[in-house]
């Protein structure tokens, strides 16, 4: 009878002790959150650069079919006016405009929407 009583009591006391040894998590500061956001943005730009170099550069570096060159602020001004989200959507779905043609996903249907978005982010960062 002593052993039957001892086992549950031992388990409860052990759990209480273990629980009290665990310090409370400190709240995350704004500085930490900003640092994480910057790291995520930098990673997206690096991934976008890789996608750009392997899929987009062929047209955008040479301006084929009216593709705006990275860094050409004038060529991008009108395209960026509605916002980057609209440009990403047009890059994913394809677009025919008065100054050129953008095939869906730059003609590479195996690219994910996120990859296309990262490539657009990379090209727009070059405008700053």
Instruction: Work out the pLDDT band at 2, boundaries 50, 70, 90.
Output: low
Contact 102, 95 (CB under 8 A): yes
The answer to the question of residue 10 being in a domain is no
Domain that holds residue 63: 41-128
User: Does position 42 have pLDDT exceeding 80, yes or no?
Assistant: yes
Mind spelling out the 3-state secondary structure of 29-77? CHHHHHHHHHHHHHHHHHHHHHHHHHHHHHHHCCCHHHCCCCCCHHHHH
CB atoms within 10 A of CB 41: 12
Task: Give 100's strand partners.
Answer: 97
pLDDT recorded at residue 105:
97
The answer to the question of residue 119 being in a domain is yes
The answer to the question of residue 6 being in a domain is no
**Burial level of 4, CB count in 10 A (0-12/13-18/19+)?**
exposed
The answer to the question of residue 18 being in a domain is no
The verdict on pTM exceeding 0.85 is: no
Instruction: Work out the pLDDT band at 118, boundaries 50, 70, 90.
Output: very high
Work out the average pLDDT over 41-47: 94
Domain total for the chain? Answer: 1
Residue 66 zone, left/alpha/beta (φ > 0; ψ -120 to 50; rest): left
CATH number of the domain residue 117 falls in: 1.10.760.10
The answer to the question of residue 14 being in a domain is no
Instruction: Work out the pLDDT band at 32, boundaries 50, 70, 90.
Output: confident
User: Does position 21 have pLDDT exceeding 60, yes or no?
Assistant: no
């Amino acid at each position: 009878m002593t052993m039957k009583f001892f086992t549950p009591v031992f388990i409860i006391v052990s759990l209480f002790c273990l629980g009290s040894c665990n310090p409370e998590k400190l709240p995350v500061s704004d500085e930490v959150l900003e640092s994480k956001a910057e790291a995520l943005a930098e990673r997206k730009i690096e991934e976008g650069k890789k996608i750009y170099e392997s899929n987009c550069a062929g047209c955008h570096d040479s301006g084929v079919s009216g593709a705006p060159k990275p860094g050409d602020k004038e060529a991008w001004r009108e395209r960026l006016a509605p916002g980057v989200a609209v440009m990403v959507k047009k890059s994913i779905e394809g677009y025919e405009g008065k100054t050129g043609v953008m095939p869906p996903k730059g003609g590479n249907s195996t690219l994910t929407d996120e990859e296309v978005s990262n490539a657009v982010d990379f090209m727009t960062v070059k405008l700053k």
